[in-house]
């Protein structure tokens, strides 16, 4: 039989680079110069491998008319969360479900919307970080909290909800709370909120079998969306794979007259910018800065952080070096978003450092993800870099995404009385390297 794959090619339509050469006999060979590996299969490549290996130049959908169904379910679920609606989460392995709404968006939760469902007592699930900040022994997983039944000091559910809704009230939280491990489906809901920079806390109900028919009808009618825990697990990667270059233009800067802005957009609308300074030589490691957006520091010159100084310093150093790329990533507040960052500032004013303040809100010390950054680099044809950073985690993250980080260059900013606690926390607790040594 004639080999139908002998002249099989793929091209990245962003830079028209050939990514797949040819196959021999029944095997299809694939070589990716960015990820620096070859693969061969029995006449085909999986859609997942193609999406991962080719980056953003190709729009490959595994299934579904409008995209991958799991991704679409997450998008619908997030939209409903933002509007204070109820969302159904199901664990694939067991089939068990919970009906939940976000604490932050529900003011108060619209229990009337549940209609005639026969549900038990509600609970509130919080992330491990928030549970620890509430005084529970540091848990490995999320906890479901509810008032003790008939306890003399137990709060009402509404008072418990009001405390958890405002982290500044944690110090005055009521006693009489029962804490149990959260359902795996509830943990998936918390993870999805965390990814979208919404405080990871939910009001929920276990779903009894007696309510199953009504729930199935609501899902079939479209008034309720069912999200699986496996959907949430793959959501960040699928989001990055949908990244697209949307515009570019020359933008002269005060620190570099020869610079260009290239804008990339995720399917959900979040935009990142690649700022190309000068003419970086892609045959050598490209000088690279991963810079997470910081409205307060970058635009207004806030003294609470070193972000603005690092941003301007990086551009100047790239100009002096003859070229480089700065990725300006929409990851405000180490990935918790602007609203939560300002909340964390208020908590810091009560005496906590930046990492503990984020924990009180329910977030980890760094919620940023780097799939989108790696996708942009692949689109730009950059796979070897000299990274400007003091954060070893960025080096590990890029390498994990297939980018070769060959050197690190320190990027220092002045330490003064307004940012010394912030800088100290980064060095002593987050492992940042605040000196010029490697």
What beta strand segments (E) does 230-380 contain? 244-250, 259-265, 271-278, 286-292, 323-329
Instruction: Respond yes or no: is residue 368 known to be catalytic.
Output: yes
User: 14-40 in b/e burial notation, b at 16+ Cβ within 10 A?
Assistant: beeeebbeebeeeebbbebebbeeebe
Within 10 angstroms of residue 266's Cβ, the number of other Cβ atoms is 18
Distance of CA 251 to the CA centre of its chain: 28
- DSSP conformation class of 160: H
H runs (alpha helix) in 83-183: 128-133, 157-165
Q: How far apart are CA 236 and CA 225, in angstroms?
A: 19
**Candidate list 229, 306, 366, 379, residue with the active-site label:** 366
| 148 neighbors 177 (Cβ within 8 angstroms) | yes
Residues β-bridged to residue 409:
388
Q: How far apart are CA 280 and CA 318, in angstroms?
A: 9
Burial of 114 (0-12, 13-18, 19+ CB in 10 A): middle
Residue with tokens 């260009």: 260
Within 10 angstroms of residue 246's Cβ, the number of other Cβ atoms is 10
| 420 neighbors 413 (Cβ within 8 angstroms) | no
Strand-strand pairing, 10-12 and 17-20: antiparallel
Instruction: Respond yes or no: is residue 245 known to be catalytic.
Output: no
Q: How many residues does the chain have?
A: 438
Q: How far apart are CA 399 and CA 207, in angstroms?
A: 42
Q: How far apart are CA 12 and CA 383, in angstroms?
A: 15
**Candidate list 85, 368, 384, 408, residue with the active-site label:** 368
User: 420-431 in b/e burial notation, b at 16+ Cβ within 10 A?
Assistant: eebbebbeeebe
Q: In this structure, what are the phi and psi dihedrals at residue 409, rounded to the nearest 5 degrees? A: -120, 125
What beta strand segments (E) does 83-235 contain? 87-90, 97-102, 123-126, 143-147, 177-181, 201-206, 226-228
Q: How far apart are CA 23 and CA 6, in angstroms?
A: 5
Q: Annotated catalytic sites, by residue?
A: 366, 368
């Amino acid at each position: 039989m004639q080999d139908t794959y002998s002249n099989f090619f793929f091209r990245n339509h962003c830079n028209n680079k050939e990514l797949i050469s040819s196959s021999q006999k029944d095997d299809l060979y694939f070589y990716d110069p960015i990820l620096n590996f070859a693969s061969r299969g029995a006449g085909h490549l999986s859609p997942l491998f193609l999406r991962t290996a080719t980056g953003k130049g190709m729009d490959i959908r595994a299934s579904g008319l409008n995209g991958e169904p799991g991704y679409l379910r997450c998008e619908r679920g997030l939209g409903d969360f933002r509007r204070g609606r109820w969302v159904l989460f199901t664990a694939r392995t067991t089939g068990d479900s919970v009906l939940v709404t976000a604490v932050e968006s529900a003011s108060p939760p619209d229990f009337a919307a549940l209609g005639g469902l026969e549900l038990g007592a509600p609970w509130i699930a919080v992330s491990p970080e928030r549970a620890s900040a509430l005084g529970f022994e540091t848990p490995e997983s999320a906890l479901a909290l509810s008032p003790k039944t008939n306890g003399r000091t137990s709060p009402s559910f509404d008072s418990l909800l009001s405390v958890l809704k405002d982290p500044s009230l944690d110090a005055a939280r009521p006693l009489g709370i029962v804490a149990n491990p959260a359902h795996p489906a509830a943990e998936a809901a918390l993870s999805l909120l965390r990814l979208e920079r919404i405080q990871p806390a939910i009001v929920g109900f276990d779903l009894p079998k007696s309510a199953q028919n009504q729930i199935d009808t609501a899902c079939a009618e479209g008034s309720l969306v069912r999200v699986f825990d496996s959907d949430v697990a793959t959501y960040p990667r699928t989001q990055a794979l949908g990244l697209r270059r949307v515009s570019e233009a020359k933008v002269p800067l005060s620190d570099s007259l020869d610079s260009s802005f290239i804008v990339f957009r995720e399917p959900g609308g979040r935009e990142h910018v690649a700022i190309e300074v000068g003419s970086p030589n892609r045959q050598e490691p490209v000088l690279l800065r991963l810079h997470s957006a910081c409205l307060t520091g970058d635009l207004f010159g806030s003294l609470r952080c070193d972000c603005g100084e690092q941003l301007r310093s990086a551009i100047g150093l790239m100009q002096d070096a003859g070229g480089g790329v700065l990725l300006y990533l929409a990851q405000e507040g180490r990935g918790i978003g602007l609203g939560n960052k300002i909340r964390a500032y208020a908590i810091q004013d009560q005496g906590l450092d930046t990492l503990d303040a984020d924990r009180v809100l329910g977030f980890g010390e760094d919620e940023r993800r780097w799939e989108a950054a790696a996708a942009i680099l692949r689109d730009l044809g950059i796979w070897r870099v000299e990274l400007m950073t003091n954060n070893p985690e960025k080096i590990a993250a890029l390498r994990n995404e297939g980018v070769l980080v060959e050197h690190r260059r320190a990027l220092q900013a002045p330490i003064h009385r307004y940012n010394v606690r912030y800088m100290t926390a980064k060095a002593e607790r987050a492992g940042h390297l605040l000196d010029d040594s490697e």
